[in-house]
Amino acid sequence: MLIFGFHIKTSSHLHHCHSSTMVRIPEVKLSSGGKPMPRIGVGTAVFPFASSEAMRATILRSIELGYRHFDTAAIYQSEEPLGAAIADALRAGAIRSRDELFITSKLWCSDAHPHLVLPALQKTLRNLQLEYLDLYLVHWPVSTRPGKYELPPAKEDLLPIDMSAVWRAMEECHALGLTRSIGVSNFSSKKLETLLSIAKIPPAVNQGNKVEVNPLWQQQKLREFCVAKGIQVCAYSPLGAKGTHWGQNWVMDCGVLEDIAAAKGKTLAQICLRWVYEQGDCVLVKSFNEERMVENLDILDWELSEEEKHKIGQIPQRKGFPGLDFVSDDAPYKSTAELWDGEI
């Protein structure tokens, strides 16, 4: 099997191949008319959040393997290593132009104030050494006290968000050409509906932990709403985000998925990623292990059977990240039901 210039003989043997036949990651057009988004992307959130040379090297390697879509955020501290890796890739000839990449970043809650949106994006672009983003997202439907970049935020720092004014500032960033598309992250259907009623430019994408999509949290209602409104779903935590502040082991320990993987000769991770991919979502993967980076791309030339999809559809649903960090008796959201509008 040929994947991004590698013949895969066994899961542990990668043989370089000089064939010019390269697998291309399919793309999806966004409502904004900006650059199409590759359906498989690389997430750069490593908890605890930190910038590192290892991350820079891993991102460069993933570009060499064929990944073109990278997801970062102000809070992740991964913008600088991503920017450095892009510069490395250009120098090494792994890409000819920055325009070959699709780069997403996110506005943190402490900058989710109308007058801070543009400066926050300008700082993100400096960190990335880029002139524009392909996609800029409002990270959470939450504001916090300006000047602090913390997850979890201190409960006393949680503030109501003026979403109408923040979104106008996002639209201004788009008008200035600093981002080709704008969107949101961790928004319920109800919050999206409110935003759509006031937006001149509708959100092109909904991503994040609310949009935690995996076989154990299938998000049928939210996905149907987004499809109907022309909003692309970008699935975070497709494998359950094991080992992170917001993750769980439930997906990777799921017996139904283990059985399907064994029967198909695939890994459990590949079954999860293929399932999300078949829903029409973009999927964000994250691995610093080269073998798994290649494996995560090997989901394009096979399908789940109707029976397998039915079995996955029957898995009891459990949300991994309830969002308690953003809930407090004295905060705008008093309960997770208010944060998610009863959708979890």
- Residues annotated in the binding site for substrate, as ranges? 139
Cα 160 from Cα 143, distance rounded (Å):
6
Strand, helix or coil for residue 70: strand
Exposure string over 108-125, b if 16+ CB within 10 A, otherwise e: bbbbbbeebbbebbeebb
Peptide bond into 48 cis (omega under 30): yes
Q: Which of 67, 76, 136, 236 is catalytic?
A: 76
Cα 24 to Cα 5, 15, 67, 82, 209: the distances in Å are 11, 19, 9, 22, 27
Active site residue 136: no
Q: Please give the backbone phi and psi of residue 247, each rounded to the nearest 5 degrees, phi first.
A: -100, 175
Cα 206 from Cα 108, distance rounded (Å):
15
DSSP 190-241: HHHHHHHHH-SS--SEEEEEEEE-BTTB--HHHHHHHHHHTPEEEEE-TT--
Sign of the C-alpha dihedral computed for residues 218, 221, 222 and 228 taken in this order: positive
Strand, helix or coil for residue 301: coil
Cα 289 to Cα 13, 62, 127, 141: the distances in Å are 14, 10, 25, 33
DSSP 251-270: TTT-HHHHHHHHHHT--HHH
Peptide bond into 146 cis (omega under 30): no
What positions carry a catalytic annotation?
A: 76
